[in-house]
Amino acid sequence: MSQNRDTVRNITGMELAGKITVVTGAAGGIGMALAERFHEEGASVVLADRDQAPLDVIAQRLNALRPNSALAVAGDLGTEAANATLISTAEKAFGPIDLFFANAGVGSGTDLTTDEDVWNTAFDINVNAHRWAAKYLVPGWLARGEGYFCSTASAAGLLSQIGSAPYSVTKHAARAFAEWLTITYGKRGIRVSCLCPQGVNTNMLKGGDNPAGGETTNVVRVAGVVLEPADVAQVVVDCIRAETFLILPHPEVAQYATLKASENERWLAGMRKLQMRVFGV
């Protein structure tokens, strides 16, 4: 069951004040908003993304508000080595990580003609990065008896993405991995949340991550309201406080998921109509 900011207010769970947090994909969009919001709550924040320069700007701004509270770490999170380095760097700087948010993602790719390297990149960033991070985090969390793993899977991970096969498939896999984590380790102190937003005003929505497939991003505009990253970050903080597994900033996504589960043929027919509406085929 999903919970939004109104329903989780005043519920006490994990508080971020004094915690050590890591956010990937933090150079902009949802990731930057999450890092800023966690910092506002009193957490120390390690920001990770591909390029150092934009991360440095954000970290400098956060450190100006609270000295020695933010660190920028650039790397290719589509590799196991970069994830291992990120975690070890964060721990050397601040100590054991309390919360890791695997938010980095790519939205490139279209149909069955998509190049194999695009498929491989989608799996590495959208799925394997979560697995690699967990590989290096979970043993320490089990030893400590606590830890929090969050990931961004998108509404496409609950439903499907019209147009982009790599995005839809990998986001389903990301949600499945988050479910596996909480099933496997939830009774051993490891908490898990999975963020599944629909339309959010980011570069990915605008086609910046996939200029050739810009029409695909129009699907979310057809489907519902487009939120600002800061709005999503607030819902995330509330749901982390409540330790809610499924984070749905768009309430309609829960309705769509219920329809998909209870009336699957009707839902599939509706998705085919949406496909025709957006692409004409």
- Quote the mean pLDDT of the chain: 90
Q: CA nearest 138: which of 82, 180, 81, 76?
A: 180
Residue 185 annotated in active site: no
Least confidently predicted of 161-165, 196-200, 222-226, 248-252 = 222-226
Mean pLDDT of 220-224: 59
3-class SS of residue 67: coil
pTM: 0.90
pLDDT band at 225 (very low <50, low <70, confident <90, very high): confident
- Is residue 261 within a helix (H) or strand (E), and if so which, with residue range? helix 251-262
Q: What is the pLDDT at residue 203?
A: 74
Given 136, 148, 167, 256, which residue is catalytic? 167
What are the chain's domains?
Answer: 5-251 (3.40.50.720)
What is the DSSP code string of 159-181?
S--SS-HHHHHHHHHHHHHHHHH
Q: What is the pLDDT of residues 159-209, one digit of tens each?
A: 988 889 999 999 999 999 999 999 999 999 999 999 999 999 987 666 544
113-117 long-range Cβ contacts below 8 angstroms, 24+ apart: 114/165, 114/166
pLDDT at 5 over 60: no
